[in-house]
Amino acid sequence: MSFKVAVAGATGNVGREMLDILAERAFPVSEVVALASSRSVGTEVSFGDRTLKVKALEHYDFSDTDICLMSAGGEVSKEWSPKIGAQGAVVIDNSSAWRMHPDVPLIVPEVNAAATAGFSKMNIIANPNCSTAQLVVALKPLHDRFGIKRVVVSTYQSVSGAGKEGMDELFNQTRAVFSAGEVTNKKFPKRISFNLIPHIDVFMEDGFTKEEWKMVVETKKILDPKIKLTATCVRVPVFIGHSESVNIECEKPVTAEEAREVLRTAPGILVIDKHEPGGYITPHEAAGEDATYISRIREDATVENGLAFWCVSDNLRKGAALNAIQIAEVLVNRKLIQPRKQAA
């Protein structure tokens, strides 16, 4: 069986990554269509050893499409995902538009693959926020074994999470610093080169940012509504790869060695945890990799049954494109969808 797949937002960072991963993982495609806005029509993007010409999303007929990987932003998704779903294609959306909708499953396959079956109400499945995705991959096996009561997380999020404009701004500012040029900021509220910005997305009334709120509500929806979580999200001058300092409080006693054993056997995780210089993973090393890496696992004696660890992942892959394609693989492997052309 092979499936017709459309990638909406194919010219963006995540859209291009989706095309690469579809080819890398040999997803069973009969046809792949690259879609974007009208201004990008005719732009060429790569799919394996082939080149695809971008077509206009707003003029495309989805009546024979099986899966639409949507990475065109929240406003576009709000308008188009229901229309595409109504035509019978399953939309796997990377934006925040549908994550908290009660009829839309919010999926990280290593954590809650079974919930994917609920997609048929709207034909939409949501990808979580990039910082949430890697966090719940790490929390799931620990929660199953030790019962997590509370999580305190501080993120160190790369500029690619803000798209190509964010990456360009870091590059241009860094070049300006070394050439004694003028450092200007447009995408970020303050200079990002050689700096940190404790502010991602808009501020909410309680003083938290929307990025921090997303981590709270998405973790509850994906993993367990009883888990208490607080987050501080920080943008850092790294191109690709989000890092997180995670502190958890468990219901059951937990040792660092027990946590290592549990994490080593969990899907999607690689434990790199040596007590020596370089015995841990950094975002530079995680870039281009599929795994969620866990390092610096240690007991926290300041709370009962406390544990701390360091979590790193490529935000363009596990945080977005890879997770979307893993969801598509769940649909295929669990026979939740059939190719429409073959069915006809």
Q: β-strand 124-126 against 242-250: which pairing, if any?
A: unpaired
247 a known binding residue? no
155 a known binding residue? no
157 a known binding residue? yes
Fold: same for 3-127+321-334 and 131-158+196-313: no
Identify the CATH class of 131-158+196-313: alpha beta
Q: Is residue 269 classed as helix, strand or coil in its secondary structure?
A: strand
The ranges assigned to domains in the chain are 3-127+321-334, 131-158+196-313
Q: Is 3-127+321-334 in CATH node 3.40.50.720?
A: yes
235 a known binding residue? yes
**Other CB atoms within 10 Å distance of the CB of residue 60:** 17
Catalytic residues, which ones?
130, 242
Straight-line distance from the first to the last Cα atom of the chain, in angstroms, rounded to the nearest whole number: 13
pLDDT in tens, the chain (344 residues): 899 999 999 999 999 999 999 999 999 999 999 999 999 999 999 999 999 999 999 999 999 999 999 999 999 999 999 999 999 999 999 999 999 999 999 999 999 999 999 999 999 999 999 999 999 999 999 999 999 999 999 999 999 999 999 999 999 999 999 999 999 999 999 999 999 999 999 999 999 999 999 999 999 999 999 999 999 999 999 999 999 999 999 999 999 999 999 999 999 999 999 999 999 999 999 999 999 999 999 999 999 999 999 999 999 999 999 999 999 999 999 999 999 876 54
> 165: buried, middle or exposed (CB in 10 Å: 19+, 13-18, 0-12)?
exposed
11 a known binding residue? yes
φ, ψ of residue 57 to 5 degrees: the values are -60, -45
